[in-house]
Amino acid sequence: LALRRDPTPGLLRWLTPPPIAPPTNERASEDDRLRLALERERTRALELEAYAFRLEEARARLEEANVELEGFAFAASHDLGTPLRTVEGYAELLLIGHSEGLDPIGYDLVERLHQTTGRLRRYVHDLLVLSRMRPDPTAVTKVMAIGELVADVVSDLNLGQFGDVVVSGELPVVEVPPTPIRQALQNLIENGIKHNRSPRPTVTVRGETDGGLAVIWVGDNGTGIAERDQATVFDLFARGSDTQAVDGSGAGLTIARRALRALGGELWITSSSERGTVFTLAFPIRFRADLPRIAREPGEI
Amino acid sequence: MVPLILIIDDDADYALLLTIYLEQGGYRVATARSGLDGLQAALRLSPVVVTVDYRLPDLNGLEVCQELRASEATGEVPLILVTGNPQPELEEKARAIGVDGFFYKLDLTASAFLATVEQVLRRRFVA
């Protein structure tokens, strides 16, 4: 078995060793059989090592491709956002300051231009946020009371005219990177109010600690998400089959799940027409870059 | 005299939109298309506020802000860093070198931009 340089530049490949010839003598001694078994073991070990090497190589290439892809999403959204906002701004100026020069059809067209550009700008903004939302082992952590964070997010979102946000009981205090948890709570709370058709949309936030985990539930009093939509609700730009009238890019839940994963946690959904939609957020109370991912959903209180 | 605001941004279309908003808010506006032109204009025109785009063809926005802070003539002028990328780290760096306000390009509306300008003016001259 030898490590040789593949003709492809930079690649090292294991070459398969020649097969071991079976013993010609039917009555091989015990020693010969042992030697043969030992050789086979050795070959197997070397083959395994070669597989591990190739696997590591593939993993490194995949990681590189991922970083490149995220870099591309970031650069594209960064460079598209400003011109889009500029077009939207000019359309606004036309509508507000120069509408007397437009006939009704012209006014309607500019209005559509303005709305479409605005929607596109929000997509681009969400892509930008998404491309930045990835695990960062060097992230700076902060001690944060989730209750205060929720109050802060609610005040920033200015949702008073659309509905209520109720915090039920004490919420955990955690030590995590602030951006992902804030982003996740913001998107889930905003979603729970704006995609909610009850007469007075209400979002209830509850939480507890479970061993080293913080578990937060963000639930709404809406009519739930259709079962056929639940599987795709975290997909990028997924729109529920009955949410066409609601403004938004459809990236909010994708961003929220990615944010939880950046905290070493996970985000789940349960939804029914009777009980509304509940999002469960579970993540380590103290952020550590090397914690294994959470795979199982904690039970509800 | 009507107060003058200096916009340093190489994107002429975006700078024009800022100019219109600021003029609607009652300011006079001068624009510069690069960091070095901006530094010279700031010395020459004594603006009441300078808005600096982060991505410029020569210097970056932080470097321009640092130069403005270092000069005696412009050391006290309120500065707004304008960026297409909302990064908390960049905002922290900007605050550390004495930038007064931070504006995300995609959030631009006349009222949001004028509010940021008024906020940095208040913070500098009232506090």
Q: Could you tell me the pLDDT band of residue A301, with boundaries at 50, 70 and 90?
A: very low
Q: Compute the mean pLDDT over every residue in chain A, rounded to the nearest whole number.
A: 84
A81·B106 Cβ contact <8 A: yes
Which whole number is the average pLDDT over B39-59? 95
Distance CA A239, CA A251 (A): 9
B20 inside 8 A of chain A by CB: yes
Q: What are phi and psi of B29, to 5 degrees?
A: -135, 140
- DSSP per residue over A71-93, as a string? HHHHHHHHHHHHHHHHHHHHHHH
Task: Please answer yes or no on whether B14 and A125 come within 8 Å at the CB atom.
Answer: no
Rounded CA-CA distance A88/A95 in Å is 11
| Segment B108-119, tens digit of pLDDT | 999 999 999 999
Residue A19 confidence class, pLDDT cut points 50, 70, 90: low
Specify the residue for token string 């007064």.
Answer: B100
Determine phi and psi for B49, rounding to 5 degrees.
Answer: -145, 145
- pLDDT (0 to 100) of residue B74: 94
Q: Does A121 touch chain B (CB under 8 A)?
A: yes
State yes or no: pLDDT of A114 exceeds 90.
Answer: yes
Res A2 pLDDT > 60: no
* Cα–Cα distance measured from residue A190 to residue A195, given in angstroms and rounded to the nearest whole number: 8
Contacts of A50 (CB under 8 A, 6+ apart): A1, A14
Residues 50-79 of A with CB under 8 A from B: 74, 78-79
- Per-residue pLDDT at A5: 47
Handedness of CA A43, A48, A51, A57 (dihedral sign): negative
Q: How many CB atoms lie within 10 A of CB A99?
A: 12
Report yes or no: A168 at the B interface, CB cutoff 8 Å.
Answer: no
Q: What is the distance, to the nearest Å, from the Cα of residue B97 to the centroid of all Cα atoms in its chain? A: 14
Could you tell me if A98 lies within 8 Å of chain B, comparing CB atoms?
no
Beta bridge partners, A215, equal: A208, A282
Q: Using one digit for the tens of pLDDT, what is the confidence trace for A253-277?
A: 999 999 999 999 999 999 888 889 9
Q: Say yes or no: B93 contacts chain A, CB-CB below 8 A.
A: no
DSSP calls for B30-62: EEESSHHHHHHHHHHH--SEEEEES--SSS-HH
The position carrying tokens 């003539």 is: B73
Section A84-100 average pLDDT: 93
Determine the distance in angstroms separating the CA of B6 from the nearest CA of chain A, rounded to an integer: 19
- How much is the pLDDT for A239? 64
Please check whether residue A83 touches B, CB under 8 A: yes
Contact B68, B6 (CB under 8 A): no
Q: Could you tell me the CA-to-CA distances from B67 to A131, A193, B11, B39, B43 in Å, in that order?
A: 32, 46, 21, 8, 11
Interchain proximity B88–A90, CB inside 8 Å: no
Nearest Cβ partner for A82 among B20, B84, B88: B84
Alpha carbon distance A188, A225 (integer Å): 14
- Cα A9 vs. chain centroid, distance in angstroms? 35
Contact B17 A86 (CB under 8 A): yes
Q: Which residues of A19-47 are buried (b: 16+ CB within 10 A; e: fewer)?
A: eeeeeeeeeeeeeeeeeeeeeeeeeeeee
Chain B neighbors of A128, CB-CB under 8 A = 85-86
Q: Which of B83, B85, B114 to mutate to test the interface with A (most CBs of A within 10 A)?
A: B85
Task: Report the pLDDT value the prediction gives residue A274, as an integer from 0 to 100.
Answer: 83
Determine the average pLDDT of the residues in B34-61.
95
The residue ranking higher by pLDDT, A137 or A40, is A40
Q: How many CB pairs under 8 A join A and B?
A: 38
Q: How many residues does chain B have?
A: 127
Q: What is the mean pLDDT of residues A139-144?
A: 88
Residue A89 neighbours by CB under 8 Å, 6+ apart: B17, B108
From chain A, the residues in CB contact with B13 under 8 A are 83, 86, 90
